[in-house]
């Protein structure tokens, strides 16, 4: 799966949002746009894990889904709240933010999979978020180690560079590998498509945040 998504994965790491985040030069307005969209995304991400928990039969997978759900709602949203509060954005604004077309496409896709597919599809659908963030967080921390202490986005990088976050991605991959062992080649192709689509959505999530773009075309926003 990783090989199939390699092009967009690496382009994602080189895109302006991620580069400027690592450098500490990303405009605050762009980061705030991203955080508000991601705050909504994390809530839907937690819902996907709740639906996966209901469909899982393996106790280890059930425990894993519950752990990730709780972590998303408690740890990740706390970092979002801290940044946004420092920007003067209220809890009410956070809860009522307009969702961008790109974020909506992403969450609609994973929620549709969570409602209509089985636990293996769900695990693969949430893998891009977990794995991409773990990879980018680790790489940013290593690449910008000399300047990270003065980076205004240090706590964001710190959250995703941890061994615990990386190990969660490893465990997720292990669960997928166990379930996919007896899958047909056609079934594996379906799962690869789900994964690559998710990585593409991760790319567009950051790209649209960098452009602070709500609609598919900027000019469409004039009518909203």
**Known active-site residue 129:** yes
Q: Residue 125 in contact with residue 177, Cβ under 8 Å?
A: no
Which among 91, 177, 202, 219 is annotated as catalytic?
202
**Known active-site residue 202:** yes
Which among 129, 164, 177, 219 is annotated as catalytic?
129
Measured distance CA(172)–CA(153) in Å, rounded? 27
Measured distance CA(105)–CA(125) in Å, rounded? 13
Q: Enumerate the H helices of the chain as residue ranges.
A: 6-14, 16-23, 28-55, 59-71, 77-86, 91-95, 101-116, 119-143, 154-161, 163-180, 185-210
Residue 142 Cα distances to 23, 26, 150, 162, 170, angstroms: 12, 18, 15, 12, 19
Q: Could you tell me if residue 199 is left (phi over 0), alpha (psi between -120 and 50 degrees) or otherwise beta?
A: alpha
Taking alpha carbons only, the member of 36, 24, 4 closest to residue 143 is 24
Q: Residue 209 in contact with residue 30, Cβ under 8 Å?
A: yes
Annotated active-site positions, please? 129, 202
């Amino acid at each position: 799966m990783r090989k199939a998504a390699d092009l967009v994965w690496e382009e994602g790491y080189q895109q302006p949002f991620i580069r400027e985040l690592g450098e500490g030069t990303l405009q605050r307005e762009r980061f705030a746009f991203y955080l508000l969209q991601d705050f909504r995304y994390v809530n839907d991400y937690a819902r996907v894990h709740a639906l996966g928990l209901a469909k899982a039969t393996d106790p280890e997978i059930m425990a894993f889904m519950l752990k990730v759900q709780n972590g998303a709602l408690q740890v990740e949203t706390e970092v979002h709240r801290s940044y946004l509060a420092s920007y003067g954005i209220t809890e009410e604004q956070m809860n009522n933010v307009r969702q961008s077309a790109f974020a909506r496409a992403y969450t609609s896709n994973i929620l549709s999979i969570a409602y209509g597919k089985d636990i293996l599809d769900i695990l693969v659908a949430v893998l891009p978020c977990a794995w991409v963030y773990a990879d980018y967080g680790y790489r940013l921390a290593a690449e910008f180690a000399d300047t990270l202490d003065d980076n205004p986005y240090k706590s964001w990088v710190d959250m995703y560079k941890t061994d615990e976050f990386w190990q969660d991605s490893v465990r997720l991959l292990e669960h997928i590998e166990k379930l996919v062992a007896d899958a047909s080649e056609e079934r594996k192709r379906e799962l690869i498509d789900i994964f690559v689509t998710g990585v593409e959505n991760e790319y567009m999530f950051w790209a649209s945040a960098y452009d602070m773009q709500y609609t598919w075309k900027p000019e469409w926003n004039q009518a909203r």
